Amino acid sequence: MSPPPAHLTRSEFETASKALVDDAREGGDALAQRHLREWSWVEHASVSGLGYLSRTVLLSRRPGCRSYELGFTDGLDGEAILEEEDGATLSDADPSDTVVCRQYVVYSPTYQVPVFYFTIHASNGAPLSLEDILRSSLFRPDTLPPSQITSFALSPDSSPFPLLSQGDHPTLGTPSWYVHPCETPKAVGEILAEVQRPQGTATKELMRVWFAVLGGVVDLRP
């Protein structure tokens, strides 16, 4: 029998998030620190109970590094394209290959799990296209499933939901990208069932595992 999917309430999310941030700040084990460094808890300016984790990191567009092979169909004409990018031939040679990524961990009231939201801009303020985002150092190479890509979403062939798409940040209301949470409860639940020696409360453990699961696809090292 498969383990129950992992969920948490909004207040559990708040408590566990703050606890993890405190842990990371005070030391704790190396693994926790890597994923959790530099996050801070932010509240909505006037309404309570809408807090979230936030941090800003600098990433690279990865010029000069070999990008991953991605098998995807072009959403427009349906032809399958296997693209192999050699960073050295990228034509958009931006002088500055640093991009600014604002990252958020926000509670989803629909799925009752944390969700990873982000915006990512070049140094001149222009938001990156989805293709450039996938080429940046935000995602770990070779971890994304075969997917259809459009300008506004990355949709795995195997799923009814896009993996990456755009939505309003639940607290700020501003447009951002987010990683769809539909698979999260199952993945996190499975790992939680295997944890031998949980550290701290169940919900803190859930958040810790959630970060680890996310970290498998998104490079969370700051």
Partner 1 sequence: MSTYGARHAPSAFSTPASIALFRRLTWEGTVPLEIRVDGKELPANSNRGLECYFVQAPRVSYLPLLVPEVRQFLMDVVFDENGGRVVKEEEWWFEREDGGLVKWHWPIGLIYDTYTTSLAPAAAAAASPVPLKLVLHLASPPTDKLLLQPSADACKQAFMGQLKEADFLRWGSTKRMTGLRKQEQDGIWDGIKEHNFDTYWRIASKITPTPSPNAQGGRSPSPAPVPPSSASMVHTRPPSAEPGAGSDANRDAATSVRSVPVRIYLPDGPVLQDLVPPTLDDGAPHILGRFLHSHLPLLFPAPPGPSELAYAVVQGVLCPMDAEMAWLGACMAGADGWVSVCVGIGRFGG
**Residues at the contact surface with partner 1, assessed by CB under 8 A:** 10, 44, 46-47, 50, 109-111, 119, 121, 125-127, 150-153, 160-162, 165-168, 170-173, 175-177, 182
Residue 110 beta carbon to partner 1: minimum distance, rounded to whole angstroms:
5
Residue 212 beta carbon to partner 1: minimum distance, rounded to whole angstroms:
24
Nearer to partner 1 (CB atom), residue 110 or residue 143: 110
Nearer to partner 1 (CB atom), residue 33 or residue 73: 73
Nearer to partner 1 (CB atom), residue 49 or residue 198: 49
Which residues are bridge partners to 144 per DSSP? none
CA distances from 164 to 19, 34, 121, 159 (A): 28, 23, 16, 12
H-run or E-run covering 102: strand 98-108
Asked if 123 and 96 count as a contact pair (C-beta separation under 8 A), the reply is yes
Residue 28 beta carbon to partner 1: minimum distance, rounded to whole angstroms:
32
Alpha-carbon distance 47 to 40, whole Å? 18
Nearer to partner 1 (CB atom), residue 118 or residue 211: 118
Q: Which two tokens stand for residue 29?
A: 């084990």
- DSSP conformation letters of 149-174: E-SSEEEETT-SS-SEEEEE-TTT--
Nearer to partner 1 (CB atom), residue 30 or residue 76: 76
Residue 170 beta carbon to partner 1: minimum distance, rounded to whole angstroms:
7
Residue 33 beta carbon to partner 1: minimum distance, rounded to whole angstroms:
31
**CB proximity list for 15: less than 8 A, separation 6 or greater:** 203, 204
Nearer to partner 1 (CB atom), residue 29 or residue 43: 43
Alpha-carbon distance 79 to 88, whole Å? 25
Residue 46 beta carbon to partner 1: minimum distance, rounded to whole angstroms:
7
Determine the longest span between alpha carbons in the chain, in angstroms. Answer: 54
